[in-house]
Every structure is written in structure tokens, then in C-alpha cells.
Structure 1
Amino acid sequence: MSMASRPVYLKLRDQIAAAIIEGRYPDGAMLPSVRAFAAEQGANPLTVAKAYQQFQDEGLVHVQRGIGMFVAPGAARILLESERQAFLSDEWPHIASRIRRLGLDADALLHENAPESVK
């Protein structure tokens, strides 16, 4: 499934997952309310609630009734591993194939856009 054809709730889920992995929402941090996140993203609150529900179903967040939704301990590690596996199984084979098909040098590509300190 291409990124453009993914349902909105999955795109929102990906944004939240990235924020957790990047540490913007560390373990124990409160996520924005459904309404606040919906307003920020210009999305329907029911769509945001569906994205949040997935995290709850996966045990990556926990709800404190009347207070909010909080990132569960270890969520970033779990999400990172899950995202890596999804990338390696779903995206990388297509990327690697395209690199070969276009005759590109993978090593050069990796270092072409690297920060100066990495080159």
C-alpha cells in the first residue's frame, strides 16, 4: 500500500509513533488530547481516537480516566523495533530494487546526504 493511499488514521498513527521514537513523547509523557491533536492536524476527532486506540490496544499507551493518555514504559523501544521490521520487510526490498535498477551506488547515496561529521 502506498503512503498516499494509507487511511488517515494510520498516517496519524505514524506521526505519533515517530514522535514517541524521537523522544518528543518519552515514557510517561502525556499525549495531546484527541481534540487538541485533531485540531492541530485538521483531522476528525474520531479519526484521531482510532489512531490512539491502536496504541492502547498494543499496550503502548495507558489511559488515566479523566486525566489523559500516557506513553507506556518501553514504548519507544517497541515502536522502533516494529518500525525497523516493517521497513526491512515492506519498504527496503522496493528501495533496494530501484537502486539496482537505476544503477546507483548505494554507498554513495548513504554518504551523499550525510551530515559533514559523518562523511
Structure 2
Amino acid sequence: MPERWNDNEPIYRQLRARVVAMILDGRLAEEESLPSVRQVAADYQINPLTVSKAYQSLVDEALVEKRRGLGMFVRHGARDQLLASERDHFIREEWPAIRARIERMDLDPADLLAQPAKDNSS
């Protein structure tokens, strides 16, 4: 997980989003354990309560499960659930503005799709 935090959004939401991205990218597989609250808090110098709040939001969404004495684990089916909700969010919330901008700039969608993807992992 990157170490920089955006001041415009609560850290627990950013941490939640990073865990979601790790699940979607396959860096956290189903049934795999999440890093411990203490470890994440120490690594990123944030309050353990902030990490707990992020993890609890994932539990509330049934993406992660608590296993008493063992920690937090990615639930079976979490990636598929995330893909469905992320796709739905994109289509409803993001795509209309993107489509309108493409049309305003008179861009050809086929030309856009032919462009190589930029690697944003760095």
C-alpha cells in the first residue's frame, strides 16, 4: 500500500479503498489474511483505531470476515462482489461524465481503445 494519504478524505476510507484495490488486483486473494491492525498502524504510522474502522467497514460489507484469534480474512466471493459493485458504480456515477466529455471533444471511442494503457502502479 502506498504511504501517502489524501487530506481531503478520511484515512480509514482511503485505507478501505486500498484494501479493495488489493482484492480487485488479486494481491489479496480470497481466504487470505489481511495484515494485522497493529502491523498496518505501525507501518503507516496511523492510529490502530483508524485501521480497525477501515477493516470494520469491510466486515460490514461482507467482504472480510473476522476469525476469532486468527485475524481478518478476505471472504470467498469478495472479488466477484466487488467487481459487480464497482462496475455498477462506474456505469451509474462515472461513465455519464466520461461519455459526455468524449462526445464534446469529438473523440472516436475505437481510437481511445487502441491507445496503450498507462501503468499507474508507480
TM-score, normalising length: structure 2: 0.79
Unaligned runs of 5+ in 2: 1-5
Q: Which letter does structure 1 place at the counterpart of 2:85?
A: S
Note closer, same or farther for the CA distance 1:41–1:106 as it changes in structure 2 (3 Å cut). Answer: farther
Residue 73 of structure 1: CA displacement? 0.7
- Superposed CA deviations along residues 43-92 of structure 1, whole A, max 9, x for unmatched, are 33322221111110111111112221011111111011111111111111
Unaligned runs of 5+ in 1: none
Once the two structures are overlaid, the 10-residue window that deviates more, 97-106 or 79-88, is: 97-106
Matched, 1:22 2:25: yes
Note closer, same or farther for the CA distance 1:34–1:87 as it changes in structure 2 (3 Å cut). Answer: same
**Correspondence for 1:100:** 103
In the alignment, which of 56, 64, 67 is matched to residue 67 of structure 2? 64
Across the aligned residues of Structure 1 and Structure 2, the Cα RMSD in angstroms comes to 2.1
Equivalents in 2 of 1:4, 1:91: separation in Å? 22
Note closer, same or farther for the CA distance 1:13–1:87 as it changes in structure 2 (3 Å cut). Answer: same
Equivalents in 1 of 2:83, 2:102: separation in Å? 25
Q: Which has the higher contact order (CA 8 A, sep 6+)?
A: 1
Residue 42 of structure 1: CA displacement? 4.4
- Count of residue pairs the alignment pairs up: 113
